[in-house]
Amino acid sequence: MWVIMKKLIITIAAAVVLSACSVEIPFINEKPLEKAEKNPQLAERNEQTKENYASNAPGEDDSLLALEAVYFNTIKEVNGINEIVNAANVLALVNKEFALPGTYIPDDLVRPKVPFSFGDQDIEKSYLRKEAAKALEKMFSAAEKLNIHLFAVSGYRSYDRQESIFNNEIGRVGEDKALQAVAFPGKSEHQTGLAMDISSESVQYLLVEEFEDAEEGKWLKENAHRFGYILRYPKDKEKITGYQFEPWHYRYVGEKNAQIMYKNNWTLEEFFQEVRKI
């Protein structure tokens, strides 16, 4: 009898120890949507979003890292600048190395039906290319259902408008600092009509780094890829993108590509380094 009781005591003690260890080391290797949130309400929202869009998750097949040649930049040198010939490409890699032609204007710009920080004004920056606009509407609608209120701030921006912004920034902080924060004319993603700056009332509709810690910013970072958008200039990737961290700047690349980049924590530059041309 004593032997049986001794075994029982040892078994119970072991169970208690294992339980304590599982509490001490939680959530290891879990994806962002699977980790426990300090805010239970936000955790519930993320879990609901995960269930709603789980069917869109990419598979593990490496064949996903193959891309048709048409989606790679076709470049010609114009006055010492690497200019993108196929500017309408939805995956156009626009950065400090590759520029859009000054004459490029997307021919399918529409105004997405989403809340804007500036209300109903019908102005240039309220437009996006049709495919990106539809995806933005889906993303904002999904967020709204979870009581996450997003506001679009700045979408399409013409070459001339970018030139004006860039020159103003030079006058304010000097050229070196301006180049870290504002794209040179032709080298702004906003000219593609595929990028949107997003904010929220919680940060007074401003484009500030504090948006990263806002409930809306957290939701976007963890869910935008499900709608084809990526956080274009993430933290700790400044040497790769060439730009400072911008938690508000989201770029449309299509659902499949966005999910691959999210899964691998890649920027658009890193994606093109890894994907093979077919």
d(CA 128, CA 276): 29
Residue-averaged pLDDT of the chain: 84
- CA-to-CA separations, 267 to 67, 208, 262, in angstroms, rounded: 16, 20, 9
Residue with tokens 């690349």: 253
Regarding predicted confidence, which is higher, 68 or 46? 68
pLDDT band at 179 (very low <50, low <70, confident <90, very high): confident
Q: What angle do CA 217, 195, 132 make, to 5 degrees?
A: 100
The residue from 137, 210, 246, 255 that is catalytic is 246
Query: Alpha helices, DSSP H only, in 174-243?
Result: 175-181, 215-223, 238-241
Q: Are strands 246-252 and 229-233 parallel, antiparallel or unpaired?
A: antiparallel
CA 10 to chain centre: 51
Nearest Cα neighbor of 234 from 253, 255, 220 is 220
Q: In this model, does residue 136 exceed pLDDT 50?
A: yes
Regarding the domain delimited by 60-277, which CATH topology (the fold level of the hierarchy) does it fall under? Answer: Muramoyl-pentapeptide Carboxypeptidase; domain 2 (3.30.1380)
- Averaged pLDDT for residues 178-191: 90
Residue 212 annotated among the catalytic residues of the structure: no
| Cα-trace Rg, the chain | 23
Q: Please give the model's pTM, rounded to 2 decimal places.
A: 0.78
**If residue 8 lies in a helix (H) or strand (E), which one and from where to where?**
helix 2-24
pLDDT band at 57 (very low <50, low <70, confident <90, very high): very low
What pLDDT is attached to residue 180?
78
Regarding predicted confidence, which is higher, 30 or 273? 273
Residues with Cβ within 8 Å of 48's Cβ and at least 6 positions away in sequence, in order, are: 146
Nearest Cα neighbor of 58 from 258, 222, 256, 274 is 256
Residue type at 167 in one-letter notation? N
d(CA 91, CA 133): 15
Residues with Cβ within 8 Å of 225's Cβ and at least 6 positions away in sequence, in order, are: 255, 258, 259, 261, 262
Q: What angle do CA 55, 255, 243 make, to 5 degrees?
A: 135
What pLDDT is attached to residue 62?
55
